[in-house]
Amino acid sequence: MSGPDPASVRATFERVAHRYDLANHFLSGGIDYIWRNRLVKLAGKENCSRVLDLATGSGDVLFALREGLPPSTHITGVDFCEPMLDQARRKRSLKGLDEESNGFISGDCLKLDFPDDSFDLITISFGLRNLADRKRGLSEMNRVLKPNGRLIVLEFSQPYFWFRPFYYFYLRFILPWMARFVTGDRDAYLYLGTSISEFPDRFGLVQEFEDTGFDRIRFSALTFSIVALHEGHKKG
């Protein structure tokens, strides 16, 4: 479950931060809005007053949760890349949202600076794949969740078998060039393709949830299973 080098992950996001949102919407053809909405819909199915959005990046998941959850919900976004957080804070002030219940703080998912049993819900969107040690990250998430609290992971997955050749052709040969056009950084998006191909499929991630102490696990495959939405509960 060991993953990419954290220093190079941080450096990659530092380089693309100023164009991250544009690249996201352009390279996904806008489907990222639909994926995020699915996450928010799932989040709203159970009560949650304290929410943590990990690897929050430029904050789009936090803002979508803010729109979809009750106004009293307290949401905190955590990321270890300051330029991404700067984008999130800039967008928060453009939206006129307060800092108190929409906090963006610097931190490492592998060593969360929160006491045990703090949150009702943790979300992590396109972040788990980037962690240097996924097992440790999942254990930290389990630790800071309240008993019966939920973890929701939105992440790239392994597409349905028949779709794989097209998808990996797109990832290897088309996406890096399109990304270069939008962000000026082809390498960051070569990394994207590699990290996706090395990430477990839907069933593999269910196993990793189980191994770290989650139960009542379920998942949905989205867009030919390019992406999957997993949910698990911390044992009560």
Ligand X SMILES: C[S@@+](CC[C@H](N)C(=O)[O-])C[C@H]1O[C@@H](n2cnc3c(N)ncnc32)[C@H](O)[C@@H]1O
Q: Which is nearer to ligand X, 7 or 162 (CB)?
A: 7
Per CB under 6 A, contacts with ligand X among 29-68 are 55-57, 60-61
| Residue 126 interacts with ligand X (CB under 6 A): yes or no | yes
Written in H, E and C, the secondary structure of 45-63 is CCCCCEEEEECCCCCHHHH
Q: Which is nearer to ligand X, 81 or 171 (CB)?
A: 81
Find the shortest distance in angstroms from Cβ 102 to ligand X.
15
| Residue 79 interacts with ligand X (CB under 6 A): yes or no | yes
Number of Cβ within a 10 Å radius of residue 119: 24
Q: Which is nearer to ligand X, 148 or 158 (CB)?
A: 158
| Residue 109 interacts with ligand X (CB under 6 A): yes or no | yes
| Residue 104 interacts with ligand X (CB under 6 A): yes or no | no
| Residue 125 interacts with ligand X (CB under 6 A): yes or no | yes
| Residue 193 interacts with ligand X (CB under 6 A): yes or no | no
| Residue 76 interacts with ligand X (CB under 6 A): yes or no | no
| Residue 1 interacts with ligand X (CB under 6 A): yes or no | no
Of these, 64, 75, 81, 121, which contacts ligand X (CB under 6 A)? 81
Pairwise CA distance, residues 64 & 43, whole Å: 11
Chain residues binding ligand X by CB under 6 A are 6, 9-10, 13, 55-57, 60-61, 79-81, 84, 108-110, 125-127, 130-131
